[in-house]
Amino acid sequence: MGLPEGTVRSWLGHLRKAGYLEAKRLNGKVQVTIENRAPAARAIVTPQPTRFFTAAKVMRALNERSDPDAMDEAITGHSDTVIRRALAGAMATPAEKIRRSRTALFLFLLNRYA
Query: Considering the chain, what is the average pLDDT of its residues?
Result: 83
In whole angstroms, give the CA distance from residue 7 to residue 74.
Answer: 57
* pLDDT, mean of each 10-residue run, the chain (114 residues): 83 82 81 72 72 86 84 86 90 87 89 86
Q: Is 76 exposed, middle or buried (0-12, 13-18, 19+ CB in 10 A)?
A: exposed
